[in-house]
Amino acid sequence: MGIAEQLRRETKVLVFDKYGTVVDMQQGLTDAVTPFLENKGWSGRPHSFVTWWRRTHFENSMIDALCDRGHTPYREIGHRAVSHVMDRAGIDYTREDVEWLVSQIESLKPFPDVIEALERLKTRYKLAILSNGDRDMLEAAGPHIGFRFDGVISVQEAGYFKPHWKTYAKAEEILGEERTGILFVANHEFDCVGAKSYGMRTAFIDRRRRPFGGWPAQPDLVVADFKELADTLV
């Protein structure tokens, strides 16, 4: 029995990362920051600004989880990251500027192939989100996605950012499904490694055509996009 057939037979729930997997975070935030940075008179590349922002946010969230001194909201981590990047870029800014930039995460749109694929997948599986975003941010983002998931879970429920194992354990608990019946889907290597290490099956959305890396916890499935995911699983 091939892996695709095995996944179709044994998977009950598909759990998706949101930022960068369901919604196009890089392009969406680049579109948002471009006029903002122009108004600030910054001559750098908006795409680079967003890359710095996202990398700083990820690093800070990992530090927060490893320190294990209580979970810091995603929004607060975002405020710190944006402020750091603007300091680094020499941009004058206000608290309102920082809050506005981070708020743009709530209105990000899905990748073009996502909704049609989700509609196909929902005919066979339960579909859920597990995101590092705060509960209220995920709720506010719902109308901008255009698809109703069976569950939307914030890592706030676990008190740690992914890829801490407790985030996947909390999702398993909330969904009421054994981890072996869950296929976790992400565009991020770290997230697939975290979910697979916990015992879930994983699918890596390789939009950027990058090698996965030599982790022991390799994904069960590697696909180019959501269309290929649906073609494989439905």
pLDDT single digits (tens) 96-123: 999 999 999 999 999 999 999 999 999 9
pLDDT single digits (tens) 20-66: 999 999 999 999 999 999 999 999 999 999 999 999 999 999 999 99
Do 52 and 76 fall within a single domain?
yes
Helix axes 189-198, 165-175, angle to 10 degrees: 60
Do 142 and 207 fall within a single domain?
yes
Do 119 and 219 fall within a single domain?
yes
What is the 3-state composition of the chain as percent helix, strand, coil, each rounded to the nearest 5?
55, 15, 30
Q: How many domains is the chain built from?
A: 2
Do 13 and 69 fall within a single domain?
no
Last residue of a domain, one of 107, 140, 155: 107
Cβ atoms of residues 106 and 23 within 8 Å? no
Q: Which domain holds residue 51?
A: 26-107
Cβ atoms of residues 145 and 32 within 8 Å? no
Q: Is 183 helix (H, G, I), strand (E, B) or coil?
A: strand
Do 12 and 74 fall within a single domain?
no
Where helices occur in 127-210 by DSSP H, the ranges are 135-145, 165-175, 189-198
Tell me the torsion sign for CA atoms 225, 231, 232, 234.
positive
CB atoms near residue 219 (< 10 Å): 23
Do 116 and 46 fall within a single domain?
no
Q: Write down the pTM of the prediction.
A: 0.95
Do 43 and 138 fall within a single domain?
no
Last residue of a domain, one of 107, 126, 147: 107
Do 44 and 103 fall within a single domain?
yes
Do 30 and 140 fall within a single domain?
no
Do 128 and 225 fall within a single domain?
yes
Q: What is the CATH number of the domain that holds 89?
A: 1.10.150.240
pLDDT single digits (tens) 189-231: 999 999 999 999 999 999 999 999 999 999 999 999 999 999 9
Last residue of a domain, one of 58, 84, 107: 107
Do 146 and 203 fall within a single domain?
yes
Give the largest Cα separation in the chain, rounded. 59
Q: What is the CATH number of the domain that holds 221?
A: 3.40.50.1000
pLDDT single digits (tens) 143-164: 999 999 999 999 999 999 999 9
